[in-house]
Structure 1
Amino acid sequence: MKPGQGKRVAFYAPMKSPHHPVPSGDREMARNLIAVIGAGGADVDLVSEQKIYDKHGDGDVQQDLRAQAQGEAARLIRDMPHADLWVTYHNYYKAPDLIGPIVARARAIPYVQIESTRASSRLTGAWADFAQSAHDACDAADVIFYLTANDLITLKRERYGQQTLVHLPPFLPAATLPRPSSLKGPMLTAGMMRAGDKLASYRIIAETLSHLSGDWQLDIAGDGPARAEVETLMAPFGPRVTFLGQLDRTQLARAYGQASLFFWPGVNEAFGMVYLEAQSHGLPVVAQNRPGLRDVLAVGQYPAPELGPQALAAQISQLLGNPDLRAKQGADAQAFIAATHLAPAATQRFWRAVTPLLEIST
């Protein structure tokens, strides 16, 4: 019998619904979580698509969102079908869970969070009230699943009572690895094109390319509001850089399956699903040594950000000039993903942690 057989799980993602039309890592992760929780035998219901997200630290926006959350919580307490467990994905200072703790308490069911962060530095300033609400929601959780060692630092320091903290390594929604890449095609980059950290990564890529010599090619998968800026950054390299646009899962898998390596610096990435996807296809990864990324990259040499684009260019040149090295690093990457970053392992970790809560509450 599967560990979650016959159970009903209420699922909620305050920042972005799994049904949102715009692709993103958050949407993909939420969808994957629903799948792995359901693989334990449970029925997983997305009980609310109420968005609680303040991007700019606006007090009026936060007040309005609180009012909407109160109404949604009242509706769920009244109308939500029976659930054995509430799971919230990604509670943090810009998108606190203002609904889950209230409903779970009223329904007398365990409350669990996945990928939550505590940001004490935000308890003053424009997001102070929302940051406090995110802390309060963390305090209400019986179990918090953390994805990276970086998140664990504050979760452990500010753990509430007997709260359990459980490592849930980021994972792919698959039970097996895809066929390894041929490693004979262009380099591949995949990332949303938007202002901020993503555009910062594209700037580093452009700077790195300017230090490369020889016959290299780069394919870029992705689109977004900053596409014009990215195209301007890549214009000096002419036909060596090809824009593939936004790819669906099948098209992106095809791109991984022929790329020589995967290149994404990873500026302020929480972890980055693209790294898991690329490595599952046996691609060596060129990235900077940053928090979060360390949890999802196979053991290897990743240059520190302060070493700049020259260090990334040196790593790329070494890989492009040595097919045997590419093959070895690619094989190591696949073995790394197979060991801890596939869906069955995530399902087991989740239900192993929450089953005691269900036994107590029944």
Structure 2
Amino acid sequence: MTQGQGKRVAFYAPMKSPHHPVPSGDREMARNLINVIGANGAQVDLVSELRIYDKHGDSDVQQDLRSQAEAEATRLIRDMPPADLWVTYHNYYKAPDLIGPTVARARDIPYVQIESTRATSRLTGPWASFAQSAHYACDAADAVFYLTEYDLETLKRDRYGDQQLVHLPPFLPTDTLPPASTLNGPMLATGMMREGDKLASYSLIAQTLAHLSGDWQLHIAGDGPARSQVETLMAPYGDRVTLLGQLDRADLAQAYAQASLFFWPGVNEAFGMVYLEAQSHGLPVVAQDRPGLRDVLAPGSYPTPEAGPQAMADQISQLLGDRDLSVKRGAEARTFIAATHLAPAATQRFWSAVPPLLEKPQ
């Protein structure tokens, strides 16, 4: 029997249900996890859509959510169908799992988390109570699947007992690679246009372009409330920079399929699915050597943030001036994605780690 076949998994995402009407990376990841966990024949049940999320650190909101969670846990203990395993996605200080540990303990089933963070700095301040609950929930987990080495640091520091920490690399929700890019088109950047880290990446892009010579072109896919700032940043480059706006999946895939390289500095990115998408199309990537990015970029040389825009411009010039190098880097990127960052690899990682938990007396 295939690992996972015939098992029943209770799934919960406290921050945002996979059925939530507003698109987001969290919603997409929850949907993808349900698919990869169920790919080997397991039945994955979304057992609750109660949203436990406090954006502003409001004690009244937190207390109300605790009351709702207590009632929901009581309901699930009574009414939830039989399950072999409970999985919670994204437990952290703004969205602690206030339900899973209670139900899993009452039902006597293993409890695991995926992409959890421990933030001791939040144990004081407006989220202190929720941060403590997130820690308690993390302590209750028999295993925690982490996506990046950066997350592993605090998970190891605060690991509870013999808790397993299992690497689950970020993955694309597909079994196969898309066609390789022709590498004949413009450079491509893509990112939400909003204040903060995203705008900081756009600012670095603009500074880097000032160091380029020759006949280059850049297309930018994305939109958002900071679009006017991005337009101002790119204005000095005239028609060399084209803002494509927000693209749907098909149009973005077409942009990848023609781009010469993918350029996104990655300021404080947790990891960035766009890097996986770009590399799956065989695009060489120009980005900075940052903690979250190291888990999703093919092995290679990436400039440090301290090296500044000039170092990224040097890499771009090298790639645009040497097609053989671009083809080689792109092929390496596709090999890297195929080996560790597609859905089948995620399914295999998950179901290789879970069976021992199912055999242990709870």
Structure 1-normalised TM-score?
0.95
Query: Where in structure 1 are there 5+ consecutive unaligned residues?
Result: none
| 1:102 maps to 2:93 | no
Contact 1:187–1:260 at 8 Å: present in 2 too? yes
- State the alpha-carbon separation in 1 of the partners of residues 45 and 167 from structure 2: 24
Would the alpha carbon gap of residues 192 and 68 (structure 1) be closer, same or farther in structure 2, given more than 3 Å must change? farther
| 1:325 maps to 2:325 | yes
Would the alpha carbon gap of residues 195 and 36 (structure 1) be closer, same or farther in structure 2, given more than 3 Å must change? same
Equivalent residue for 1:196?
196
Would the alpha carbon gap of residues 73 and 32 (structure 1) be closer, same or farther in structure 2, given more than 3 Å must change? same
How many residue pairs were aligned?
362
**What letter is aligned with 2:315?**
Q
- State the alpha-carbon separation in 1 of the partners of residues 223 and 73 from structure 2: 36
SS in 2 for 1:129: helix
Equivalent residue for 1:24?
24
Deviation sequence 1:330-352 (CA, Å, 0-9, x none): 01111111121111111111011
Equivalent residue for 1:232?
232
Would the alpha carbon gap of residues 248 and 20 (structure 1) be closer, same or farther in structure 2, given more than 3 Å must change? farther
Equivalent residue for 2:242?
242
| 1:57 maps to 2:57 | yes
Deviation sequence 1:310-341 (CA, Å, 0-9, x none): 22122112111211111111011111111211
**What letter is aligned with 1:334?**
R
Contact 1:16–1:27 at 8 Å: present in 2 too? yes
- State the alpha-carbon separation in 2 of the partners of residues 310 and 262 from structure 1: 17
Query: Where in structure 2 are there 5+ consecutive unaligned residues?
Result: none
- State the alpha-carbon separation in 2 of the partners of residues 239 and 122 from structure 1: 46
- State the alpha-carbon separation in 2 of the partners of residues 75 and 116 from structure 1: 25
Contact 1:25–1:272 at 8 Å: present in 2 too? no
**What letter is aligned with 1:202?**
Y
RMSD: 1.7
Contact 1:110–1:361 at 8 Å: present in 2 too? no
Deviation sequence 1:167-196 (CA, Å, 0-9, x none): 111111122211110011111112122222
- State the alpha-carbon separation in 2 of the partners of residues 228 and 103 from structure 1: 48
**What letter is aligned with 2:323?**
P
- State the alpha-carbon separation in 2 of the partners of residues 17 and 206 from structure 1: 37
SS in 1 for 2:258: coil
- State the alpha-carbon separation in 1 of the partners of residues 320 and 351 from structure 2: 43
- State the alpha-carbon separation in 2 of the partners of residues 347 and 59 from structure 1: 39
**What letter is aligned with 1:104?**
A
Contact 1:24–1:192 at 8 Å: present in 2 too? no
Equivalent residue for 1:260?
260
Percent identity between matched residues is: 81
Equivalent residue for 2:311?
311
SS in 2 for 1:257: helix
